[in-house]
Amino acid sequence: MKVSSILATKGTDIISIRPEQQIREAIQLLTRHNIGALVVVDENGRLAGIISERDIIRKAAETEALFSLPISAVMTRHVITGMPQDDLMSVANTMTERRFRHLPITDGERLVGMISIGDVLKAQRDKFRGEIDTLETQLMADDE
Amino acid sequence: MSHIGSESNPLRVAIVGAGPAGFYTAEHLFKNRDLVIEIDMYDRLPTPFGLVRAGVAPDHQKIKSVTRVFTKTAENPRFRFFGNVEFGKHLKLADMQAHYHAIVFTTGAQTDRRLNIPGIDLKNSHAATEFVAWYNGHPDYRHLEFDLTQERVAVIGVGNVAVDVARILCRTPEELAQTDIADYALEALRHSRVKEVYMLGRRGPAQAAFTPPEVKELGELADADVYVPPEEAKLDPLSEASLADSADRGTMRKVEIVQSFAGRQPTGKSRRLVLRFLVSPVALIGDENGRVRAMRLVKNELYATEAGTLRPRPTDQYETLDVGLVFRSIGYRGVPLPDVPFNDQWGVILNEKGRVLDPETQQPIPGLYTAGWIKRGPSGVIGTNKPDALETVECLLADVKNGRLLTPANPDAGAILQLVQTRQPYYCTFADWQRLDEMEIRRGQEIGRPRLKFTSVEEMLKALGKM
Ligand SMILES: Cc1cc2nc3c(=O)[nH]c(=O)nc-3n(C[C@H](O)[C@H](O)[C@H](O)COP(=O)(O)OP(=O)(O)OC[C@H]3O[C@@H](n4cnc5c(N)ncnc54)[C@H](O)[C@@H]3O)c2cc1C
Ligand SMILES: NC(=O)c1ccc[n+]([C@@H]2O[C@H](COP(=O)([O-])OP(=O)(O)OC[C@H]3O[C@@H](n4cnc5c(N)ncnc54)[C@H](OP(=O)(O)O)[C@@H]3O)[C@@H](O)[C@H]2O)c1
């Protein structure tokens, strides 16, 4: 199974923020959409970084002026990205091993979505669940 | 009026597509004890069960028993089946919106992914989707012809569908006669001159999409020897490291099986099935009549993406493989339904967790849902559609609570029945299907086969006395 199968049920809207916007706006977006991270895109729609709850909390421990800081002061710039054709299993391994929870997905230059470790684990669970459900449906059929 | 989901005002749901996703959706809905729910299921074919009938290989009869569970759902008195009724043709979205509180699209993936290489449209180059539908007796594909006078065949891709295609090509007529393969396909394959079948994987054995039981079966064919070039069965260092890292048992098992094939000596069987890895077709080469005569292959090497996936990259080594018949089996693809938003990038209905979205606002369109392959793309086994359908049904039921469904002008079971009768007088009920089913099994028994399928809609309607 590939990353694209996760993106397929996520619409096409990517919740993003610009580097010059303020942390206050990031927090509003994160809560409104109930998500853990935002992609940061520049004026050309290109990926400039990622900002997560953790980045924000870490900064909050440093400074009281958190809310009005620009995103660019807090975001992570070196972002690991994935592609729609990436295999879910290897993505799951990479995310757990290297301890990051969000993976922006790009197709060439274009940002096409973001997946979280939660999405990946759910997809893996559903894959196993599906194999079990196939067997279970067969067993139920034998009872009929 | 009383609330939606009561005895006097039942929740009326249309399900479009009678494959596994459609039936699991119905099953989950009927499990709800708080609401009275009525379901009408539509399919463009007179026969239900989608790919269980028209995709699952005929020599895998056992798995087809899942239809008994689907039949149980269909026997619920609040369920009706309208076969031979196509969404978009006989009934439009607006027709359904006028009669149902909710519509769930479960139409599967009706076509194949393109492979853009020179020569792909030559004669004798086909999509595996067409061959599969043909040997399974899908009415839309029964008229196709495949040139089985060719001795050498290539199957591009190493997913489970590619395995099915290669296996069917390698089976003996005696083996096939034990199955419910379409009668014309059995006849054509009886005269097949195919001697060598090549399955072509662009990555290594560890990345092959087939699953262990399916690939193992290739080593157990009555009259075909299986072989893998040893240098291609061996894992490259990147795959080796990644496998050690993940310690994934399924992958290990798969690699073990492939490697066991590499050591095999030919035992004198009439056919040979060769699994190749780390090769990509770059062009098909035609003869003077525009027919495939060979395939140009490039040898690949693997590299790791940032996210850790091992992907193929062409080297400068090429080879030519003489083949006269080619099947590309690189995946299915969904097609858009009239008036239903589509996400062209992934070939699915535009949706979030099964709620169909308005492309402008990205907000859910009231009353429209989707499940199965047309929701998440063409991957997964029959049972994968069960948790998938559950996610959709949970969204639907939450929307009932929040009053976010359709308010149809005419939510009456009789009214829609009348409309169907005028638009498609030749619609088929589930009872009609059960009669066809009985006839097919009886016709099969007479000649010692599990079933002899009807393969044209006209034939089915005649057998039912409707024409
Ligand atoms: C070749 C092949 C072999 C497979 N073998 C196995 C196997 O051995 N074991 C296993 O577990 N899984 C197998 N699978 C996977 C399994 O078949 C799928 O997971 C499953 O069928 C997908 O279910 P679905 O309901 O989404 O789509 P489908 O099964 O494709 O059902 C879609 C239905 O919608 C109908 N439809 C389409 N358009 C319209 C329209 N406009 N109006 C009305 N109806 C419409 C179609 O006629 C069809 O009946 C196989 C898949 C393929 C392709
Ligand atoms: N017996 C069974 O249980 C059974 C039988 C049939 C089908 N199914 C299920 O049905 C689903 C669909 O099966 P499927 O075989 O159609 O799809 P699949 O499992 O996605 O396999 C597609 C194959 O095509 C290859 N491919 C894709 N693009 C290619 C390209 N451009 N060039 C060369 N190769 C390319 C893929 O390689 P990469 O990985 O490199 O992309 C992969 O090997 C699967 O989930 C399958 O398990 C199950």
What is the DSSP secondary-structure string of A29-79?
HHHHHT-SEEEEE-TTS-EEEEEEHHHHHHHHTT-TTGGGSBGGGTSB-S-
Sorting pLDDT into bands at 50, 70 and 90, what band is B1?
A: low
The pLDDT of residue B49: 98
Model confidence pLDDT, tens digit, residues B68-119:
999 999 999 999 999 999 999 999 999 999 999 999 999 999 999 999 999 9
A3-7, B3-7, B334-338: the lowest-pLDDT one: B3-7
| CA B277 to ligand 2 center in whole angstroms | 14
Q: CA distances (Å), B136 to each of A77, B167, B184, B268, B433, in order?
A: 53, 14, 10, 30, 17
Residues of chain A where predicted confidence (pLDDT) is lower than 70: none
Region B125-129: mean pLDDT is: 97
Contact A4 B353 (CB under 8 A): no
Task: Please give the share of chain B, as a percent, with pLDDT higher than 90.
Answer: 97
What is the DSSP secondary-structure string of B343-409?
ETTTTEE-EETTEEE-TTT-PEEEEEEE-THHHH-S-S-GGGHHHHHHHHHHHHHHHHHTT-S---S
The pLDDT of residue A141: 86
Number of other CB atoms surrounding residue B363 within 10 Å = 12
Report the top-level CATH class of B11-110+334-428. Answer: alpha beta
B120-129, B261-270, B316-325: the lowest-pLDDT one: B261-270
Sorting pLDDT into bands at 50, 70 and 90, what band is B25?
A: very high
Region B384-388: mean pLDDT is: 96
Model confidence pLDDT, tens digit, residues B148-192:
999 999 999 999 999 999 999 999 999 999 999 999 999 999 999
Contact A134 B67 (CB under 8 A): no
Number of other CB atoms surrounding residue A78 within 10 Å = 6
The pLDDT of residue A142: 82
What would the two tokens of residue A113 be?
A: 């979505």
Q: What domain count does chain A have? A: 1
| CA B150 to ligand 1 center in whole angstroms | 30
- Whether residue B20 has its Cβ less than 6 Å from ligand 1: yes
Under a CB-based contact definition with an 8 Å cutoff, are residues B259 and B249 in contact?
Answer: no
Contact A81 B352 (CB under 8 A): no
Query: Is A85 in the B-facing interface, judged by CB distances under 8 Å?
Result: yes
Which residue, judged by its Cα, is nearest atom 8 of ligand 1?
B56
> pTM for the whole thing?
0.96
Q: Where are the domains of chain B?
A: 11-110+334-428, 114-331
Query: Is A11 in the B-facing interface, judged by CB distances under 8 Å?
Result: yes
Q: What is the mean pLDDT of chain B?
A: 96
Is the pLDDT reported for residue B452 higher than 90? yes
Region B209-227: mean pLDDT is: 96
Query: Cα–Cα distance between B98 and B96 in angstroms, integer?
Result: 5
Region B374-388: mean pLDDT is: 96
Contact A93 B380 (CB under 8 A): no
Domain B114-331: homologous superfamily in CATH:
FAD/NAD(P)-binding domain (3.50.50.60)
CATH code of the domain covering residue A113? 3.10.580.10
Region B302-327: mean pLDDT is: 96
The pLDDT of residue A119: 94
Q: Which residues of B20-42 are buried (b: 16+ CB within 10 A; e: fewer)?
A: bbbbbbbbbbbeeeeeebbbbbb
Q: Which residue has the tokens 């900064």?
A: A59
Model confidence pLDDT, tens digit, residues B228-264:
999 999 999 999 999 998 888 999 999 999 999 998 8
| CA B54 to ligand 1 center in whole angstroms | 8
From B106, B382, B385, B392, give the residue whose CB has the most ligand 1 atoms within 8 Å, as the site to mutate. B382
The pLDDT of residue B160: 98
Looking at chain A from residue 104 to 143, which residues have their Cβ under 8 Å from any Cβ of chain B?
112, 126-127, 129-138, 140-142
The pLDDT of residue A45: 83
Enclosing domain of residue A79: 3-143
